[in-house]
Structure 1
Amino acid sequence: MYRYKDDVYDRIWLPYESRDWRRLTTSLNNDDLDQNYYRPPAIVMSTAVTPVNGSAPLQFHWDADNVNDQYYIYRHFSEVEELAGNETRAFNMTMTGELPYGPEIPIYRGVYTIFTRLPLTGAKRYQLSLSKTENSTHPPILNAIEVYKVKDFSQLETEPDDVDTIANIKNAYGVARNWQGDPCGPAKYMWEGVNCSFNGLNPPRITS
């Protein structure tokens, strides 16, 4: 598992295995990687999966608990093999609830992200499929995927003045903790080392 400090946004990255995949790896650090806005960690992007059968599609799926669930998906790609001039890796991509993409060509030591602009909803199973193009000499790859399920939080956001104060403290003292999002909400995920008070219909307040 990887998270902060490998990931500046403290996302949680977990390995996922399939008997239909094989792993490709390279040596990569953050200085080597030409990042994009989403900044997936280099240690995560240094590994990719590809189908065991080079002619078969690379597939990944998950099942929704409820067909009304909404999901946002981020798929991250980076070429981990330095291909020769006469070699190519190009693939088309389909995803339940989306129009097809492609052809996609991963960038060597660069990050390319495809994301959903609108939430995916209405399906019991969501299937991602990557298929090599007719002229591609290499099968598709996938380095990382983020799946976010939309949750309806009834809790109010933390009092804005308190948020500004704690943010200034964090910046002034260089606090190196996994402080992201709302300091007090959801209550189950309050910032580490922060205490909050909750008073009915009023916004939560930071007490210490």
Structure 2
Amino acid sequence: MVFVSNAESLTMLLNIDCGATDSDSTWEIDEKFIKSGQNMQINTTITLREMTTLRFFPDGIESCYNLPLLGRERYLIRAGFYYGNYDGLSNPPAFDLRINGQYWTTINSTLTEDPIYVEMIYPVRRDSVKICLVRVHNNNPFISSLQARVLPSNFYKLMENTTILNLHSRIHFGGERDVGKSTRFGGDEDFNRIWKLKQMYNYHNVTSVRIPYGSSVSTENWPPYMAVADGISPPNGFNSISMWFDLPPQTSQAYFVFYFKEPEQSPPVSLVRRIEISINGHQMALTEVPQMDKDAIQVVSLYPVPVAGSANVTLQRAEGSTFPPIINAMEVFTSMELSRAELAHHYPFMVLAFLHVFGLSMLLG
């Protein structure tokens, strides 16, 4: 499904089934976005349509998709990869991804049945984005799917306009399955995000009032109901929840989002759930889970959080709290700055304004 601007055929939503030969109401073929590579149908039992085909690139070093997107918008951009032993070599390749000439990540494909997804939130500066697959060894790069979805400007409100957020984890707790329209199970995610179920066997699963299926919560970042309806809490006698996030070794700062929802259907008057959030031993925030109604969700965003390749997150029962902490969902991003070339598309109007105001007087001395 593609929403097109009348003026320049720029898209707000783009779902590309790489290597496919026919489109449907959700996915379109990739031929108008790239001129190199070869299509391949995969013999697999996987049920995701977009993972049954791929485009591989036997020639050249770099092969690029050109996506017509809206300038000055933030996009969720996700690439999907399913090797499926399409070449019969049982040798899944590794290769790099670049976005507008800037290193994004390295793809290490596997022989497993689980697709690999990489995702970022990208501040688009011009009316197109170039995503390139770069050969780093003798093996051929390939790609199965490519998606772009414009996000409301108030999402991820601490994100700077010159920063890229690379998704590390988007997880929810206490539920039964992944949530999101791109999963084989379907879901109620309105912004093309995938919320992976994180099993935490050392903690108790908690379930709140069941909320109507098929809608999101009108709070910060609009999380889907199915991702926040359940959560986890520490076992009896314990007052904290701990999680470890193994971030890339070069990571210096990260963006964390915490989603809290009270599971008690008829909370007692004495119920107070205050939570202290610490990362790597440093207290970062103190919050209280609201008791107002079944739709009340507390969202805590933290950025920039200094890290050194890893993050130990602790949710501790805070002073004055009569109940232990809970957590329903989380998002963790690493950040990097836009390349100088992209920044030049962001700041030219500021340079011109500066010269207009100061340039003549500076030249005259």
TM-score, normalisation: structure 1: 0.63
**Corresponding residue of 1:15:** 197
Give the counterpart of 1:2 among 167, 170, 179: 179
Q: Aligned partners of 2:260 and 2:303: how far apart in 1?
A: 18
User: After superposition, what is the alpha-carbon deviation per residue over 1:78-117, rounded to whole angstroms, capped at 9, x for unaligned?
Assistant: 1121311122222222123864322423444312211123
1:134/1:149 CA distance change after superposition, 3 Å: closer
Q: Aligned partners of 1:54 and 1:91: how far apart in 2?
A: 16
**Corresponding residue of 1:110:** 296
Do 2:289 and 2:298's aligned partners in 1 also have CA atoms closer than 8 Å? no
The offset of 1:69, in angstroms, is 4.7
Do 1:67 and 1:121's aligned partners in 2 also have CA atoms closer than 8 Å? no
Q: Aligned partners of 1:101 and 1:114: how far apart in 2?
A: 8
**Corresponding residue of 2:326:** 141
Q: Which structure carries more strand by proportion?
A: 2
Q: Aligned partners of 1:151 and 1:100: how far apart in 2?
A: 21
Consecutive unaligned residues of structure 1, counting only runs of 5 or more, are 158-208
User: After superposition, what is the alpha-carbon deviation per residue over 1:52-76, rounded to whole angstroms, capped at 9, x for unaligned?
Assistant: 1343311112112214354211111
Alignment of 1:29-178 (within 5 A): 29=212, 35-82=218-265, 83-96=267-280, 99-107=283-291, 108=293, 109-118=295-304, 120-150=305-335
Any runs of at least 4 consecutive aligned residues in structure 1 with deviations exceeding 6 A, and if so which?
30-33
Consecutive unaligned residues of structure 2, counting only runs of 5 or more, are 1-177, 182-186, 343-365
1:37/1:19 CA distance change after superposition, 3 Å: closer
The offset of 1:33, in angstroms, is 7.4
User: After superposition, what is the alpha-carbon deviation per residue over 1:157-196, rounded to whole angstroms, capped at 9, x for unaligned?
Assistant: 9xxxxxxxxxxxxxxxxxxxxxxxxxxxxxxxxxxxxxxx
1:52/1:43 CA distance change after superposition, 3 Å: same
SS at match of 1:91: strand
1:18/1:113 CA distance change after superposition, 3 Å: same
Percent same amino acid at aligned positions? 22
Q: How many aligned residue pairs are there? A: 157
The offset of 1:131, in angstroms, is 1.3
**Corresponding residue of 1:25:** 207
Larger Rg: 2
SS at match of 2:197: coil
1:99/1:134 CA distance change after superposition, 3 Å: closer
Q: Aligned partners of 2:333 and 2:277: how far apart in 1?
A: 19
1:75/1:151 CA distance change after superposition, 3 Å: same
Q: Aligned partners of 1:33 and 1:137: how far apart in 2?
A: 30
TM-score, normalisation: structure 2: 0.38
User: After superposition, what is the alpha-carbon deviation per residue over 1:120-150, rounded to whole angstroms, capped at 9, x for unaligned?
Assistant: 3442320111111343221100000011233
Q: Which amino acid aligns with 1:126?
A: A
